[in-house]
């Protein structure tokens, strides 16, 4: 489903360059649950951003469902974003001025979905995550775990093929973290959603099928 | 989708109350100014547009050329109009208009009528002043007939039907019958009047309208056939003049050239005079001021929005990562600005409506009563939308261009993006502010100068009473003077035909030149008595004044001013003494030369003036009064007046007040500029306040650290102010030449003007610095006074 060929990424620093990723080859199959691990600054977040089209590689090829992403224009990429990829962030990144309901609804708005369908989709997901009672609250009124739940709900509502999670439990207590990881596992097994997560935690990594270790920009 | 945008926009407006307040208040003030000025400009440009034939009506004007000067007059002589109509088939109709005033008497009631005109019967053919009663073709054909406006008819006859009613004019010399009733003249007519008398009346009362080719005083308008090229007609006019009075022109060495002016140019763009005159310069100035004030408000918005852009950056990142196009985000942010702008629009419309009455007062005319009835509201909406776009587009582009990775990683704190632009815009605002401050100071300085300048005659404590209605003045003026002089508190009395600051006649005059030839020209004329020069303290530079003991002085003597001396080519005033003159049937010699005195507004240089003694023409009586006895004097003079003019109305005024009335328009201009300058300063301060409060928030941590390291409150103040002081210094450098140039242009309107004082620029700069410092200090104080432990802990 996802195939990276000779991907590298560097930033210019002074007269030289700072290499973050070096010649990465990676394949992720449909239905997999992959954990990317590595020390700080190893390039794992950058890798995830490249997978999520938020950043462009300096070199190399990226095929998503067999299609060459690196050759797509901005518009095509945005469409891929909307249709196939859901993001979960460490800091949740909910929009403060929107309610829980509206936060979840936002991706659907960008898909130009009719109002009725939008409503039922959001209602479904609120129901499934047991947060119907919280739908009119603003993010600041929720605990961290609840905020992350909303973040995941927002990632899921567009029915993506793959969820990319950047340290989704990094800001949470261990209890809350466990809950979130169970949820990911369930999504992977029942809904057949491909999941790629970046994590520091050995424990969280074990929820996945496969662990990719990155060190100094190279897959170990 | 839009609903979502509006929702988040609304929540943002409410969340950021302070910034929203600054933005909405700024935009509202800016738009309100803009709307009101828009109404004013539209009104000024609408003059005479209500005439159905406006594109075919032309005013005939005359260039009078003598060997020494060229007079560009707005008037013609009486025979010109009818003869042009008779000679040229492309002229459908011509109408002559003579502005006049009189005292109307109906039974025992007296009414001052200073807005009356005499006009040909063709008046209503050429112009579209709709008649309510009476026949437009015949109402003004017979002598002693009049058409009244609705409100004037009400003034004279109350609710009675005015048609067929009569009234008397000129102290009972003629009885006039009302033959028509017309709608009131629209405010935007360059010819204001509330009564039209048939020109045949003037003729019947002895005015020669058929042969007096050299006697100027008539406004003449032509209605041309459709498709006539006025330029072609104008080219035929010199031959026309030649055929009628060619030999006279040659004989007098005085040549008339006729020109045609489109009606639409008469009020605004023509450089010649008109009964009511507009000023294109003012239109430009106000339009520019309106745009500048709006720009200041827009700049406030742009500055605040870009400075605060980082606060919205995370939202941009999130939205992009869930699939928003950049264009969608741009649109979203534009929607927010638009919402603010429309909010301000609604407030501005309401505010403009509220402010219309005082604005009418300030402008000195009824521009409009109701904003909604004028159709201007569509334009206002367009202005509001443009403002929204102008203010919103740049911040929207900046915001929507943020890269999600950069933003969401959290490494992104404050950007210097747009810092340069922001500084530029602050400089721009201060340039506008400084220019306006300089403008206000120079306008007022100039006006004070005009009021304080020595005019060359005494204008204080001179009371003027109009004795124009006295019968047989020639016999009685001595008695009147003697009686007024006996009133306690009166120290001097003099009769004349005109007084400084008011209209004076001009006369076709022949005066001997150096080479002995007689030169004809049209010269201003005062008829005075023996005391005039002494009582007005006018200085003589050569010869002597009129003396009662010189028998010939009463008919054969003339005084001229220095302007006459130089216009006739004499080098020294002494040279003109004893030269011959021939004026209005009187012949004699020049006995004295007066020092130039400003008998008209200081906008003009002193033009040639002659004085003679001619008691028949006496009207105003100038009375020098003791300021302690003014009330008694007025009562005493009134008693004398009513004995001599029982049917008249007693009117008095003081020369200095009356003279300063000529600058009323300029004072009004000064007030308007002052108002706008204050608004501009207020808006710029508001923007500065917002910007600084944001900067202070951003730098709270830095301030805390500096304080921990030992910085005093003053150090912190200096740190934050220095940036702005630098910007103001730059603004001052840019504003100085600009303000100098603009005010230089404005001062050109005045023949007597101040040298622009250098300190005005310094003062304006200081005002800007003080305002900026005050604003910075208030905001900074708060941050600098807080305990650093507090601000650092929150980080």
Q: Which of A52, A82, A95 sits opposite B318 (nearest CB)?
A: A95
How far is Cα of residue A59 from the mean position of the Cα atoms in its chain?
Answer: 22
CB contact under 8 A, A110 and B321: no
Residue B405, chain A, CB below 8 Å: the answer is yes
Strand partners, A111: none
A49 assigned to some structural domain? yes
pLDDT of residue B795: 38
pLDDT at B130: 93
Q: Give the pLDDT of residue B264.
A: 93
B232: number of Cβ within 10 Å:
9
User: Which of B8, B314, B318 is the best mutation test for A, with the most CBs of A within 10 A?
Assistant: B318
- Tokens coding B764: 């304006």
| Cβ–Cβ contact B8 with A under 8 A | yes
A110–B323 C-beta distance less than 8 A: yes
pLDDT at B410 (0 to 100):
56
Q: Which residues of chain A neighbour B314 with C-beta distances below 8 Å? A: 93
Q: Which residues contact B771 (CB under 8 A, 6 or more apart)?
A: B681, B684, B685, B688
* Plot region of B125 (φ>0 → left; ψ -120 to 50 → alpha; else → beta): alpha
Of residues B703 and B257, more confidently modeled? B257
Positive or negative, the CA dihedral B49, B50, B53, B59 is negative
Q: Which of A78, A89, A96 sits opposite B323 (nearest CB)?
A: A78
**B629-664 pLDDT, tens digit each:** 899 999 999 999 988 888 778 889 999 999 988 888
Mean pLDDT of chain B: 88
For residue A16, being part of any structural domain is answered with: no
Q: What is the pLDDT of residue B790?
A: 63
Per-residue pLDDT of B607-623, as tens digits, reads 999 999 999 889 999 99
Cβ pair A105:B11 closer than 8 A: no
Average pLDDT (B420-446) is 89
Residue B121 has pLDDT above 80, yes or no: yes
Q: What six digits make up the tokens of A19?
A: 């290499």
Asked if residue B379 has pLDDT above 60, the reply is: yes
CB A128 within 8 A of CB A160: no
Residue of B nearest to A154 (CA): B322
Q: In which band, very low, low, confident or very high, does the pLDDT at B324 lie, cut at 50, 70 and 90?
A: confident
Q: Among B429, B431, B127, B436, which residue's Cα sits nearest to residue B300?
A: B429
Contacts of residue A57 in chain B, CB cutoff 8 Å?
none
| B325 to chain A: closest CA residue | A78
Residue A27's Cα: distance from chain center in Å?
17
Residue B68 confidence (pLDDT) above 80:
no
Q: pLDDT tier at B273 (50, 70, 90 boundaries)?
A: confident
> How far is the CA of B331 from the CAs of A82, A113, A115, in angstroms?
19, 18, 20
**pLDDT above 90: residue B122:** yes
* Interface check B501 vs A, CB under 8 A: no
Nearest-Cα residue of chain B relative to residue A138:
B11
Confirm whether A117 is domain-assigned.
yes
Interface test with A, best of B2, B316, B320, B322 (most A CBs within 10 A): B322
Please tell me which residue of chain B has the smallest CA distance to A107. B322
Q: Are A189 and A211 in contact (CB under 8 A)?
A: no
pLDDT computed for residue B787 by the predictor: 67
- Residue B414 above 60 pLDDT? no
Q: What pLDDT score was predicted for residue B417?
A: 60
What percent of chain B is modeled with pLDDT above 70?
Answer: 97
pLDDT top residue among B709 and A116: A116
How far A209 CA sits from the closest chain B CA (Å)? 26
Interface size A-B, in CB pairs within 8 Å, comes to 67
Question: Partners of B583 in the beta sheet?
Answer: B509, B586
The reply to whether A3 touches chain B by the CB within 8 Å rule is no
Q: Please indicate whether, in this complex, the C-beta atoms of B322 and A87 are within 8 angstroms of each other.
A: yes
pLDDT given for residue B598 in this prediction: 94
Closest partner CB to B323 (pick from A93, A97, A107): A107
| Nearest chain A CA: its distance from B19 CA (Å) | 16
A49 and B324 within 8 Å at the Cβ level: the answer is no
Q: pLDDT tens for residues A36-94?
A: 998 888 888 889 888 888 888 899 999 998 889 888 887 888 788 778 888 898 888 88
Per the domain annotation, does A13 fall within a domain? no
Pick from A52, A87, A95: CB nearest B315 = A95
- 3-state SS, B688-721, equals HHHHHHHHHHHCHHHHHHHHHCCCCHHHHHHHHH
- ipTM greater than 0.85, yes or no? no
- Among residues 314-343 of chain B, which lie with CB inside 8 Å of chain A? 314-315, 317-326, 328
Q: Domain of A141: which CATH number?
A: 3.40.50.300
Instruction: Determine contact: A161 vs chain B, CB below 8 A.
Output: no
How far apart are the CA of B34 and the nearest CA of chain A, in angstroms?
A: 34
* CA–CA min distance B301, chain A (Å): 21
**B503: phi > 0 → left, psi -120 to 50 → alpha, else beta; which?**
beta
Residue of B nearest to A95 (CA): B315
Residue of A nearest to B317 (CA): A93
Tell me if chain A has a CB within 8 Å of the CB of B605: no
pLDDT at B110: 84
Please tell me if residue A159 touches chain B, with a CB cutoff of 8 Å. no
- What pLDDT sits at residue B206? 85
Task: Tell me the pLDDT tens digit for each residue of B551-590.
Answer: 899 889 999 999 999 988 899 999 999 999 999 889 999 9
pLDDT for B487 equals: 93
pLDDT per position as a tens digit, B206-233: 888 888 888 888 999 999 999 999 999 9
Structural domain boundaries in chain B: 2-43+279-449+664-793, 57-267, 462-662
Calculate the alpha carbon distances from B146 to A45, B140, B173, B314 in Å.
95, 7, 15, 78
From the CA of A139, how many Å to the nearest CA of chain B?
13
- To which H or E segment does residue B610 belong? strand B609-612
d(CA B549, CA A196): 122
Whole-model pTM?
0.81
**Does the distance separating the beta carbons of B324 and A94 come in below 8 Å?**
no
Question: What mean pLDDT value characterizes chain A?
Answer: 88
The kind and range of the H/E element at A8 are: strand A2-13
Contact with chain B for residue A154, Cβ under 8 A:
yes
Q: Does residue A2 belong to any structural domain of this protein? A: no
Q: Determine the distance in angstroms separating the CA of B326 from the nearest CA of chain A, rounded to an integer.
A: 9
pLDDT at B789: 65
Q: Exposed, middle or buried by CB within 10 Å (0-12, 13-18, 19+), for A66?
A: exposed
Q: Which residues of B touch A112 (CB under 8 A)?
A: 1
pLDDT at B482 over 60: yes
Q: Where are the alpha helices (DSSP H) in B401-515?
A: 404-409, 419-452, 473-485
User: A95 and B8: CB-CB below 8 Å?
Assistant: yes
Residue B794 has pLDDT above 60, yes or no: no
Please state, in angstroms and as integers, the Cα–Cα distance from residue B2 to each residue in B322, B346, B393, B446, B775, following that order. 17, 20, 17, 55, 38
State the best of A110, A136, A161 to mutate against chain B, taking most chain B CBs within 10 Å: A110
Which residues in chain B are contacts of A49 at CB distance < 8 A?
405
> How does residue B418 score in pLDDT terms, banded at 50, 70 and 90?
low
State residue A29's pLDDT score: 92
Does the distance separating the beta carbons of A110 and B328 come in below 8 Å? yes
Residue A89 touches chain B, beta carbons under 8 Å: yes
* Identity of the highest mean pLDDT range in B56-60, B409-413, B450-454: B56-60
Residues of A in contact with B315 (CB under 8 A): 95-97
B6 touches chain A (CB under 8 A): no
Q: Which residues of B touch A75 (CB under 8 A)?
A: 325
Q: For chain A, how many structural domains are there in total?
A: 1
Identify all chain B residues contacting A111, using CB atoms and an 8 Å cutoff. 323
Q: How far is residue B547's CA from residue B531's CA, in Å, rounded to a whole number?
A: 9
**Domain of A199, in residue numbers:** 31-57+71-219
pLDDT score for B65? 86
Whether A18 is covered by a domain: the verdict is no
- Beta carbons of A54 and B405 less than 8 Å apart: yes
How far apart are the C-alpha atoms of B598 and B456, rounded to whole Å?
A: 6
Contact A111 B323 (CB under 8 A): yes
Neighbouring C-beta atoms of residue B366, cutoff 10 Å: 14
Specify if A19 maps to a domain.
Answer: no
CB atoms within 10 A of CB A192: 10
Instruction: For chain A, positions 106-145, list CB contacts with chain B under 8 A.
Output: 106-107, 109-112
């Amino acid at each position: 489903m996802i195939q990276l060929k000779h991907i590298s990424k560097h930033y210019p620093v002074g007269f030289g360059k700072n290499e973050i990723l070096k010649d990465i080859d990676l394949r992720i199959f449909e239905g997999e649950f992959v954990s990317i691990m590595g020390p700080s600054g190893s390039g794992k977040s950058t890798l995830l951003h490249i997978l999520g089209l938020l950043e462009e590689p300096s070199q190399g090829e990226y095929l998503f469902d067999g299609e060459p992403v690196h050759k797509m224009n901005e518009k095509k990429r945005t469409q891929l974003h909307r249709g196939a990829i859901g993001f979960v962030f460490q800091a949740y990144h909910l929009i403060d001025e929107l309610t829980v309901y509206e936060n979840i609804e936002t991706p659907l708005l960008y898909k130009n979905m009719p109002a009725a369908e939008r409503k039922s989709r959001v209602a479904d997901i609120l129901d499934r995550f047991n947060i119907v009672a919280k739908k009119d609250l603003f993010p600041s009124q929720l605990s961290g775990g609840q905020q992350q739940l909303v973040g995941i709900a927002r990632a899921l509502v567009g029915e993506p093929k793959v969820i990319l999670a950047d340290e989704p439990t990094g800001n949470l207590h261990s209890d809350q973290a466990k809950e979130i990881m169970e949820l990911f596992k369930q999504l992977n097994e029942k809904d057949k959603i491909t999941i790629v997560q970046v994590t520091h935690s050995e424990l969280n990594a074990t929820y996945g099928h496969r662990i990719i270790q990155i060190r100094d920009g190279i897959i170990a | 989708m839009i609903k979502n945008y509006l929702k988040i926009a609304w929540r943002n407006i409410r969340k950021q109350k302070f910034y929203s307040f600054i933005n909405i208040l700024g935009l509202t003030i800016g738009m309100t100014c803009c709307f009101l000025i828009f109404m004013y400009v539209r009104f000024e440009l609408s003059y005479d547009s209500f005439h159905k034939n406006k594109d075919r009506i032309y005013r005939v004007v005359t260039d009078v050329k003598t060997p020494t000067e060229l007079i560009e007059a707005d008037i013609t002589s009486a025979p010109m109009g009818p003869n042009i109509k008779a000679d040229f088939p492309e002229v459908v109709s011509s109408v002559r208009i003579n502005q006049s005033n009189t005292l109307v008497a109906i039974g025992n009631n007296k009414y001052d009528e200073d807005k009356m005109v005499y006009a040909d019967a063709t008046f209503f053919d050429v112009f579209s002043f709709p008649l309510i009663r009476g026949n437009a073709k015949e109402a003004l054909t017979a002598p002693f007939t009049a058409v009244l406006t609705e409100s004037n008819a009400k003034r004279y006859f109350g609710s009675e039907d005015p048609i067929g009613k009569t009234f008397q004019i000129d102290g009972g010399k003629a009885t006039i019958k009302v033959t028509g009733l017309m709608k009131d003249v629209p405010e935007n007519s360059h010819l204001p009047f509330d009564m039209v008398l048939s020109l045949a009346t003037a003729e019947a009362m002895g005015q020669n309208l058929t042969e007096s080719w050299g006697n100027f005083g008539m406004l003449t308008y032509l209605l041309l056939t459709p498709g006539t090229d006025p330029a072609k007609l104008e080219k035929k006019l010199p031959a026309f003049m030649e055929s009628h009075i060619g030999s006279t022109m040659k004989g007098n060495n005085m040549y008339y050239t006729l020109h045609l002016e489109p009606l639409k140019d008469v009020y605004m763009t023509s450089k010649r005079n008109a009964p009511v005159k507009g000023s294109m310069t003012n239109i430009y100035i106000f339009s520019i001021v309106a745009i500048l004030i709006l720009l200041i408000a827009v700049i406030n918005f742009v500055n605040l929005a870009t400075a605060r852009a980082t606060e919205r950056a995370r939202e941009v990142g999130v939205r992009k990562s869930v699939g928003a196009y950049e264009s969608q985000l741009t649109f979203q942010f534009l929607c927010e600005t638009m919402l603010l702008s429309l909010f301000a629009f609604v407030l501005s419309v309401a505010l403009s409506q509220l402010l219309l009455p005082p604005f009418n007062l300030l402008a000195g005319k009824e521009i409009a009563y109701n904003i909604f009835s004028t159709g201007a509201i569509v334009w206002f909406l367009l202005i509001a939308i443009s403002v929204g776009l102008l203010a919103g587009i740049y911040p929207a582009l900046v915001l929507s261009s943020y890269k999600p990775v950069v933003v969401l990683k959290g490494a992104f704190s404050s950007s210097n993006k747009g810092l340069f632009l922001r500084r530029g815009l602050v400089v721009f605002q201060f340039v506008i502010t400084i220019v306006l401050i300089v403008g206000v100071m120079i306008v007022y300085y100039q006006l004070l100068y005009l009021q304080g300048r020595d005019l060359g005659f005494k204008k204080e404590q001179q009371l003027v009473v109009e004795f124009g209605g006295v019968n047989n003045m020639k016999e009685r003026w001595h008695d009147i003077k003697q009686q007024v002089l006996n009133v306690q508190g009166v120290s001097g009395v003099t009769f004349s035909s005109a007084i400084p600051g008011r209209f004076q006649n001009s006369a076709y005059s022949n005066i001997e030149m150096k080479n002995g030839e007689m030169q004809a020209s049209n010269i201003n004329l005062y008829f005075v008595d023996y005391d005039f020069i002494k009582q007005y303290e006018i200085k003589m530079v050569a010869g002597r004044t009129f003396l009662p003991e010189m028998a010939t002085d009463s008919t054969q003597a003339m005084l001229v001013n220095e302007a006459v001396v130089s216009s006739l080519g004499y080098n020294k005033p002494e040279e003109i003494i004893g030269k011959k003159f021939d004026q209005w049937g009187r012949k004699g010699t020049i006995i004295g030369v007066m020092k130039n005195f400003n008998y008209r507004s200081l906008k003009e240089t002193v033009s040639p003036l002659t004085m003679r003694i001619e008691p028949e023409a006496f009207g105003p009586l100038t009375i020098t009064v003791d300021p302690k006895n003014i009330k008694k004097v007025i009562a005493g003079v009134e008693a004398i007046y009513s004995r001599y003019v029982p049917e008249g109305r007693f009117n008095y005024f003081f020369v200095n007040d009356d003279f300063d009335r000529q600058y009323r328009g300029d004072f009004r201009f000064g007030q308007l500029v002052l108002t706008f300058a204050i608004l501009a300063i207020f808006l710029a301060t508001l923007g500065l306040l917002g910007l600084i409060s944001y900067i202070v928030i951003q730098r709270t941590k830095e301030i805390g650290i500096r304080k921990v390291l030992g910085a005093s409150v003053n150090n912190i103040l200096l740190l934050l102010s220095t940036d702005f002081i630098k910007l103001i210094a730059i603004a001052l450098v840019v504003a100085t030449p600009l303000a100098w140039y603009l005010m230089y242009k404005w001062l050109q309107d005045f023949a007597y003007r101040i040298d622009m004082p250098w300190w005005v620029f310094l003062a304006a700069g200081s005002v800007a610095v003080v305002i900026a410092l005050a604003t910075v200090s208030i905001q900074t104080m708060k941050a600098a006074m807080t305990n650093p432990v507090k601000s650092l802990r929150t980080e």
